[in-house]
Amino acid sequence: MGIHGLAKLIADQAPSAIKEQDIKNYFGRKIAIDASMCMYQFLVAVRQDGNVLQNEDGETTSHLMGMFYRTIRMLEHGIKPVYVFDGKPPQLKSGELEKRGERRAEAEKLLAQAQEAGEQENIDKFSKRLVKVTRQHNDECKKLLTLMGVPYIEAPCEAEASCAALVKAGKVFATATEDMDGLTFGTGVLLRHLTASEAKKLPIQEFQFTRLLQDINLTHEQFIDLCILLGCDYCGTIKGIGPKRAIDLIRQHGSIEEILENIDPSKHPAPEDWLYKEARGLFLQPDVVDCSTVDLKWSEPDEDALIQFMCAEKQFSEDRIKNGCKKIMKSRQGSTQGRLDSFFTITGSLSSKRKNSPVGTVCVNQTTAGEKPEEPAEDQPEEIHYGDIDFSKLRPKETPAAAQDRNRVQGQESEYAEVNVTRRGPQEPHLNYIDGL
């Protein structure tokens, strides 16, 4: 579910913390992806005639098709995805899970009524509300990713929390999810719409957490209290307090405890036995993967095993799976290139639109192309985008890799900026009939 109304609140209160990006800007980036969110999207969107895709044995295959082609799309753009799967939900989430079960039961009744009345629009609507990611979906996607050579991580608890931990540890650059609670867990960068359908033409939304806290003038703990007031998965909210009122109260009083001391309980009653302290604790100290043990590696696909699994078992077209393997192999050939900011030191100012930014005084350090830590140090900028860089102020770095490329790079900065972009070709005709791909 995420945090109610948080995206809109950020757009209203801290618009500069959100940037619209093109997928090509993430070339060379390692990105932690909320696997459960992806599978849910695929089960909802990858359909034929309004129904999930199935093989001849009646097994659902929408999640596999979505995972296969969306992952290839990211690889073709030079992104290094790592999928993070949910573990056991925290006990505090049991109330939310119970509510979801009630909503599913209601959707089943409404679906039966729509089917009886022959209302196709409502049939599609309520069918999607019944979508649920199962253990089998998880296991099959893990197997597919392994055969594709793409790493995945099994989180001990909430996937978004472990994604945020990976970002904080410098293992990856960003968290990709549609749920805004990735920010509540403290991910430095959150990406929305990274795995959205190309047909939807949605730009990627990049949320910068440090900039967000600066713009709304809150600490991380105060931001967590704000998210609890907005509505999260772990507890209820104070009646009659909307997003604007919530942020005003946090700014004025600093914490939920102080807010409760200063509001009229008859007008704004808090939930009975309100577990906001426990919810705060889950956001501040969640159960996450031990990042010191994480060693992310991307490898070549096992074409024979992929054909056995996807074609012999799941009845996908062998030609299409082979074509997908070729695309993965081709993407690996281009993945050895480093990002543009790996080869240069910024010695002057950036473009005029960023003149007041500290970015122009920072060196982007790297010893070998492709080896740059994903999370910048505290005194480094959180982001550098190609459009922000004044190439007249760039010079090759004095590193072994840069020295080898010096003659090839000097005087060709604008050309070099295009070298690292792998462009996706036309959409394959066989996908045109599938909703959402």
Q: What is the CATH number of the domain that holds 261?
A: 1.10.150.20
Number of domains into which the chain is organized: 3
Structure tokens at 175: 């968290």
The answer to whether residue 424 is domain-embedded is no
Q: Are residues 225 and 321 in the same domain?
A: no
CB 191 within 8 A of CB 31: yes
CB 413 within 8 A of CB 391: yes
Q: Are residues 207 and 327 in the same domain?
A: yes
Q: Are residues 148 and 200 in the same domain?
A: yes
Q: Which long-range contacts (CB under 8 A, 24 or more apart) does 355-363 make?
A: 357/381, 359/384, 359/388, 360/393
Q: Are residues 356 and 325 in the same domain?
A: no
The answer to whether residue 353 is domain-embedded is yes
The answer to whether residue 240 is domain-embedded is yes
Q: Are residues 269 and 367 in the same domain?
A: no
Is 252 buried (19+), middle (13-18) or exposed (0-12) by CB count in 10 A?
exposed
The bridge status of strand 394-396 relative to strand 344-346 is antiparallel
Look up the pTM and report it: 0.74
Q: Are residues 123 and 136 in the same domain?
A: yes
**Nearest residue to 95 (alpha-carbon basis) of 272, 350, 336:** 272
Q: Are residues 49 and 171 in the same domain?
A: yes
Q: What is the CATH number of the domain that holds 304?
A: 3.40.50.1010
User: Which structural domain, as residue segments, surrounds residue 264?
Assistant: 219-284
Q: Are residues 305 and 324 in the same domain?
A: yes
Tell me how far apart the alpha carbons of residues 167 and 92 are, in angstroms, rounded to a whole number.
Answer: 25
Q: Are residues 106 and 237 in the same domain?
A: no
**To 5 degrees, how large is the angle CA 393–CA 396–CA 400?**
160
The answer to whether residue 157 is domain-embedded is yes
Task: Encode pLDDT of 210-243 as tens digits.
Answer: 999 999 999 999 999 999 999 998 888 999 999 9
Which residue would you say has higher pLDDT here, 252 or 382?
252
Q: Are residues 86 and 170 in the same domain?
A: yes
Q: Are residues 345 and 209 in the same domain?
A: no
Q: Share the mean pLDDT of the chain.
A: 79
Most confident of 186-200, 203-217, 338-352: 203-217
Task: Encode pLDDT of 178-199 as tens digits.
Answer: 999 999 999 999 999 998 767 6
Q: Are residues 274 and 414 in the same domain?
A: no
